[in-house]
Structures are given as C-alpha cells and as structure tokens.
Copies of this chain bind each other. A is one copy, B any other.
Amino acid sequence: MEALVNPDRRSLHQRILDDVQGRILSGEWPPGHRIPFEHEMTAQYDCSRMTVSKVLNQLARAGLIERRRRSGSFVLRPHSQSAVLEIRDIMTEVQALGLAYRFEIVSRAKRRATRTDLDRLHLEAKVPVLDLACLHFAGKEPFCHEERLINLDAVPEADAEAFAERAPGPWLVERVPWTTAEHRIQAIGANPLTAAALGIAEGAACLLIERRTKGAEQPITHVRLTYPGDGHELVAHFAPSRN
C-alpha cells in the first residue's frame, strides 16, 4: 500500500502526526474545529485505522484535541497554561554554570518526629527522622541552602550514612525505588538562619522549592531548598506533544 521507498526518514504515523499538528498550530484548524474522522484519514493517508488512531490518541494525550464518541475529534483551545518544569540536580546545575561544585553537611540530628516534622513529611506516627542541613556551593559562593528530613522508618540505612561523597538528594535517588513527588515553589524573605548560611541580608528575596517525596508505602523525605533570588531561576516549557 505504502510507497516502496520510504519518502523520508519519519515513520508513517510520525508524518501524519506532524501534518495534523501543523494544521492545528498554524491555526488552519482553529479551536473547536472538527478534525476528519478516523475512517476519512484512513482513506486520505491510505493506511490502516490503527495507525490513524495511534496518532489521534497521541494528540489527545498531549492535550491538543479532544475525542468524543459518536461526535468525532475536536481541536481544544489552549488550556490554562500547564508546563513541564525541569528541576535539575543541584550539582548538574552548578556545573552547567561552569563552576566547581561542592557541598557541606552543616548540621545533623536524629530524633523522634516532632509535630512540625510530621506535618512536613505528611506522616502521622512519631517515627524516627533524620534532620540534615546542607550547603551547596558554586565556586566559592554558597548557592543553595538545603534543609532535609528523612523518614528513617522508610530508609533506615540513612542513619549510618555520612553523606561525605554524595549529597543526601542523589544518595536517596540512588537508593530508593520509584517515587512520586510534590513540589511547592514560593518566594520568601531569607530567615536569619538561611541568611547567615547563604551570606545574604535577612529578608532578601529567595526562591524556595519544597519537595515532598513518597514511595510506594510511605513518605520518604521532605526537603526545603532555598536559593538566593538573584542567582537562580527555573525554566519551564509548554509545547504540544513532546513525542
């Protein structure tokens, strides 16, 4: 059915996807437009229905179109901005700036979880926790102040770890299987502790990233990363169907 010699290097469904996506992005098919039925595209591209279906389902997952039974598929209007945010590893980030990276454990304490700890970890039982403070440097300058709680019920081996070679973040990523995470991003004025650690004025604008990480069974860790506001920005991209 298809041309014997591949006309270009893309697969058939990739070409169809690019075609349809192009029409949507260009405005040729504006929001609300009903795109051709599967059986129509099957004829138009001279391919099987599965191939068309795969393309349209990809576009639907990417949020470009909506599929309705008995009605057809429709171009959606660009929905309330949702974007993919890349939160990179601190070491990677520093090295991307062309600076030398190192970190220091500033303080370390083991205790039964206090009420604040439980709140931060989203826990109820008063489990043992490890409370770490850590400074990350870019060259000679402090780059980020890390305050971390680790649930020792979930990761007991953290108690015996010195975190000399690897910072607590990468150490946990290596050790703990797949997780889900929730991030909160705020601007705050530096509190006295953080200001002293980062060598900035109290109240200076800082970017605070809080991350709560859960494993399959229970919460694993909570971390507050504070960056001086003038030295850091997050970048997020919004684009249809990353393929």
User: A residues touching B (Cβ–Cβ < 8 Å)?
Assistant: 24-27, 30-31, 50, 64, 75, 77-78, 80-89, 92, 173-174, 176-189, 203-208, 211, 215-216, 227, 229-230, 232-240
Contacts and interface: CB of A to CB of B under 8 A. Distances in A.
29 contacts: A24-B177, A25-B215, A27-B215, A27-B216, A31-B178, A75-B178, A80-B86, A80-B89, A81-B88, A81-B89, A82-B84, A83-B85, A83-B183, A84-B85, A85-B183, A180-B238, A181-B237, A181-B238, A183-B238, A185-B185, A186-B232, A186-B233, A187-B205, A187-B208, A187-B227, A188-B229, A188-B230, A203-B205, A204-B205
Contacts of A235: 182-185
A160 to B, nearest CB: 20
Contacts of A50: 50
A208 B98 CA distance: 25
B183 A207 contact: no
A179 B87 contact: no
A179 B78 contact: yes
Given A25-B179, A78-B178, A205-B229, 13 more contacts: A25-B215, A31-B177, A50-B50, A78-B176, A80-B86, A80-B87, A81-B86, A82-B87, A83-B84, A182-B237, A184-B236, A204-B205, A205-B205
Contact of A183 (B88, B177, B236): B236
Contacts of A173: 77-78
A30 to B, nearest CB: 6
